[in-house]
Structure 1
Amino acid sequence: MTPIRKWLAAAVAATGLAAASFAHAADVTIGALFPMSGPNATYGDVFSSGANLAAEHVNADKMLGDGKLTIQYEDSQALPQQGVIGMTKLVNVHKVPYVLSAFTGVSKAIATLGQRSRTVAINGGGVGPDLAELGPYFWNIIPLANFEVKAMIPYLIQERKLSRFALVYVDDPIGQSILAQMKETLPQAGGELVGSFSVPVTAQQFSGIAARVRAANADVVYIVSYGSQQAQIIKQFRDNGVKQQLVSYSAFSVPEINTLPEAMGALYTTQNVDWNSDDPVTRRFVDDYRAKYDKMPTAYIANYYNAVRLFGLLAHDLIQQGKRITGENLLAQRKSVGTFELVGGKVTLLENGTAVSPMQVVEVDGKGGKVVASDLR
């Protein structure tokens, strides 16, 4: 080998070793945009409990080799403008390759910045169907609202014999998307939308809406709201004589609703998760969460555990290949693998980065929720 060839070979080898050393030894920070203050702060507490447990497990399993995973939290307040401010800080100051996102409006607001900077944003809380269309760097670890509505409506009509629906929805992207999905799904399933009533995002008084809902003579009242507002809707509806079956999407999967006396018997959808499964990933998650918080987890907690675990799996693969942990490499690796062992079993992400999963119906029972129907598609 000529001297110049020897020099080139040594340079290439040194570059490869340097890259591998970087990948194996470096600590990694990912970001999270959660509402940590304001009327939706309860979701930040719920989401972060799952994310933090996953980070502990990633570090305990040494998925990043000698490196340690940490999560940098920024307070979105569940508001698009605050979300953009937080995302800008995560991308430009902390230079994270991966960000946990939540809420449809926030997710849509930050998606452009994620695409431009090639930073993966992964959603485990917002369910607007258009979140599947935000570009290759925006992923959804949660089935979106179209899957939830398509699962709930046939169940209510066929199993509960309830066909007249009233929709009370917050006037924002998630409310509007569920309204559109119900208008499409109800006629196909043999149901009828007898009334739809929008409420402002900041509203807290609902006695007038309750009177209109009573007048609609529905069998079911489907509520699309979140945070402190959804609890007020439930309380005031019951106080004002709305006795119909209350139904919602996965936003009801929070402690405040599951322990609210007026919410007892309400139904909501989530993706299928068998908390008693012998699957080792699920079993470890449930056992460690119960040991740490002295209560059962919920679907939202599993979503953000899965979002962080997914990062750990992808980062581990990149480390093994001697590649840098960047958004671009995470995207390529996700597409290469496709299906992952997460809480609940194997989860497949479609080409657009959205998870597909069977759904279940949960009844609020004051004890964390009782599954009354599962494997709905």
Structure 2
Amino acid sequence: MLAKLKPLLCAAGGLLLAMSVSAAADHDITIGAILPLTGPAAPIGLQEQQGVTFAVDRANADGGVQGHKIKVLFEDSQGKPDQGVLAFNRLVDLNDVPATLTAYSSISIAIAPLGTRREVLIINPAAQSDKLADASPFLFNTIPLVRDEAAVVARYALEKLGKKAAVIYENAAAGIDGAEDFKKVFVEAGGEIITEEPVEFGQTNFRSVLLKVAAAKPDFVYISVTQGQEAFAEQVGQIPNFPVAVGNTFSTPFFGYPSTVGWYHTAIKSGITPELEAEFNEKFDTKEMGFFSREYFNSTNILIQLIDHVLTAGKEVTGPNLRDALLEIKTFKSGIADITFETNTAQREVEIMQHGEKERIKIDYTPSK
């Protein structure tokens, strides 16, 4: 009897093994994303969430990664460091994520030591505080830091706009770093800061600050804020003869307002094919795939590529293995941007753009020696 059952038992065992392997291949791989989905930074957070969702949905529509569907858990930081820390702990303690995307400098700085301690890979596609350069061996920045942009716009402004500048900066990590970096380069090159005014994160009434700056009569204003651009631009429009403004990537949302025509900002060079943008616009009912959506889409695809690399090597998808894969691959090419990591911060080309009435205009500029 046992002899007769043996082939059946072997067959059943083989079937169970095959089912087990299939189940292992089909289980989700979960990643995190800590974004400001409510609060003053929510408009940017929504763009970032759409970029992540777009990348994950496209990957899963193609079968996932080696049979694994990618699942992303979104956590709302509200743009606050303490909420970012709670979000990180929920992702790791409750869901054991090996990697997470992050947003905003103060939050990224707050979770960086947790990434080191818990060995969770942190990908930062947008925060730019200089402190992120060495915040954690597990944190990687896919765009340059604020000092890289501030240096370019400071030299341009001095050569083309004038020697007397006012500064409006957000009293938070990226805003402070942006202001300090700009002032350092501008003053060393011969410029003068005639007034500087702080604003708070979440502030929506900028009138008193704007009036003070306008009264100082600078040649231009350097703006280093990460949110509230709509209210800012509308209130600028209420002040006659407000001086021209310059800024960095976070000034991108100032585009599209009558009061900001002629303003300048630096931008991290990135692209998008018309076909991909059309697909994105149809999915999210938008008019363009903006900078933040592009960067989070691209960074999510980098993370997906790392997962594929780890699985191909027959390894478990863990934070240390994903980090090792990033350092091994180093260069990631896409229609958005080519990104190479020689350090934990990717080096990419910085452009200067001017706001026209209907489009952004790239400025042909080479800094003088």
Interval of TM-score (by shorter of Structure 1 and Structure 2): 0.7 to 0.9
CA-based RMSD? 2.6
**Secondary structure of the corresponding residue to residue 203 of structure 1:** coil
Residue 261 of structure 1 aligns to which amino acid in structure 2? P
Q: Is the 8 A contact 1:358 1:375 kept in 2?
A: no
Query: Separation in 2 of the partners of 1:107 and 1:237?
Result: 31
User: Match for residue 9 of structure 1?
Assistant: none
Residue 71 of structure 1 aligns to which amino acid in structure 2? V
Q: CA deviation at 1:232?
A: 2.5
User: Match for residue 346 of structure 1?
Assistant: 338
Residue 113 of structure 2 aligns to which amino acid in structure 1? T
The 3 A distance-change label for structure 1 pair 33 and 23 is same
Alignment of 1:137 onto 2:138: yes
**Secondary structure of the corresponding residue to residue 363 of structure 2:** strand
Q: CA deviation at 1:268?
A: 1.8
**Secondary structure of the corresponding residue to residue 344 of structure 1:** coil
User: Match for residue 31 of structure 1?
Assistant: 32
Residue 265 of structure 1 aligns to which amino acid in structure 2? G
Query: Separation in 2 of the partners of 1:376 and 1:305?
Result: 32
Q: Is the 8 A contact 1:165 1:193 kept in 2?
A: yes
The 3 A distance-change label for structure 1 pair 342 and 240 is same
1:267 to 249, 264, 269: 264
User: Match for residue 255 of structure 2?
Assistant: 258
Residue 29 of structure 2 aligns to which amino acid in structure 1? V
Q: CA deviation at 1:205?
A: 2.7
Query: Separation in 1 of the partners of 2:241 and 2:366?
Result: 30
Residue 76 of structure 1 aligns to which amino acid in structure 2? S
Q: Is the 8 A contact 1:53 1:289 kept in 2?
A: yes
Residue 205 of structure 2 aligns to which amino acid in structure 1? Q
Over the matched positions of the two proteins, sequence identity in percent amounts to 26
User: Match for residue 314 of structure 1?
Assistant: 306
Residue range with higher mean Cα deviation, 189-198 or 162-171: 189-198
Query: Separation in 2 of the partners of 1:104 and 1:315?
Result: 25
User: Match for residue 220 of structure 2?
Assistant: 220
Q: Is the 8 A contact 2:76 2:84 kept in 1?
A: yes
Residue 164 of structure 2 aligns to which amino acid in structure 1? R
Query: Separation in 2 of the partners of 1:64 and 1:374?
Result: 42
User: Match for residue 184 of structure 2?
Assistant: 184
Residue range with higher mean Cα deviation, 357-366 or 132-141: 357-366
User: Match for residue 195 of structure 1?
Assistant: 195
User: Match for residue 358 of structure 1?
Assistant: 349
Q: CA deviation at 1:185?
A: 0.8
Query: Separation in 1 of the partners of 2:286 and 2:171?
Result: 36
Cα deviation, 1:170-228, whole Å, max 9, x if unaligned, reads: 11111221122122211343432222111222433333222321232211111122322
Residue 238 of structure 1 aligns to which amino acid in structure 2? G
The 3 A distance-change label for structure 1 pair 24 and 157 is farther
The number of aligned residues is 350
Unpaired runs of 5+ residues, structure 1, are 1-16, 276-281
Q: Is the 8 A contact 1:348 1:355 kept in 2?
A: yes
Residue 350 of structure 2 aligns to which amino acid in structure 1? M
Residue 136 of structure 1 aligns to which amino acid in structure 2? P
TM (norm. structure 2) is 0.87
Cα deviation, 1:211-268, whole Å, max 9, x if unaligned, reads: 321232211111122322x3323332331335211222212333xx333332233222
Q: Is the 8 A contact 1:166 1:220 kept in 2?
A: yes
Q: CA deviation at 1:144?
A: 1.2
The 3 A distance-change label for structure 1 pair 375 and 105 is farther
Query: Separation in 2 of the partners of 1:300 and 1:29?
Result: 22
Cα deviation, 1:94-142, whole Å, max 9, x if unaligned, reads: 1111111111111111111111111111112211111111111111112
The 3 A distance-change label for structure 1 pair 106 and 362 is same
Q: Is the 8 A contact 1:152 1:361 kept in 2?
A: yes
The 3 A distance-change label for structure 1 pair 214 and 89 is same
Q: Is the 8 A contact 2:81 2:106 kept in 1?
A: yes
**Secondary structure of the corresponding residue to residue 95 of structure 2:** coil
The 3 A distance-change label for structure 1 pair 44 and 134 is same
The 3 A distance-change label for structure 1 pair 197 and 99 is same
Q: CA deviation at 1:372?
A: 3.0
Alignment of 1:295 onto 2:292: no
Query: Separation in 1 of the partners of 2:22 and 2:318?
Result: 15
Residue 141 of structure 2 aligns to which amino acid in structure 1? N
Query: Separation in 1 of the partners of 2:21 and 2:152?
Result: 46
Q: Is the 8 A contact 2:158 2:186 kept in 1?
A: no
Alignment of 1:128 onto 2:129: yes
Q: Whose relative contact order is higher, 1 or 2, with alpha carbons under 8 Å and at least 6 apart?
A: 1
Q: Is the 8 A contact 1:359 1:375 kept in 2?
A: no
Residue range with higher mean Cα deviation, 80-89 or 25-34: 25-34
The 3 A distance-change label for structure 1 pair 367 and 96 is farther
Larger Rg: 2
Q: Is the 8 A contact 1:358 1:376 kept in 2?
A: no
TM (norm. structure 1) is 0.85
Residue range with higher mean Cα deviation, 181-190 or 66-75: 181-190
User: Match for residue 4 of structure 1?
Assistant: none
**Secondary structure of the corresponding residue to residue 148 of structure 1:** helix
Query: Separation in 2 of the partners of 1:95 and 1:118?
Result: 11
Residue range with higher mean Cα deviation, 200-209 or 69-78: 200-209
Matches within 5 A, 1:82-121: 82-121=83-122
Q: CA deviation at 1:376?
A: 8.2
Query: Separation in 2 of the partners of 1:217 and 1:318?
Result: 57
Q: CA deviation at 1:374?
A: 7.3
Q: Is the 8 A contact 2:161 2:219 kept in 1?
A: no
Residue 55 of structure 1 aligns to which amino acid in structure 2? V
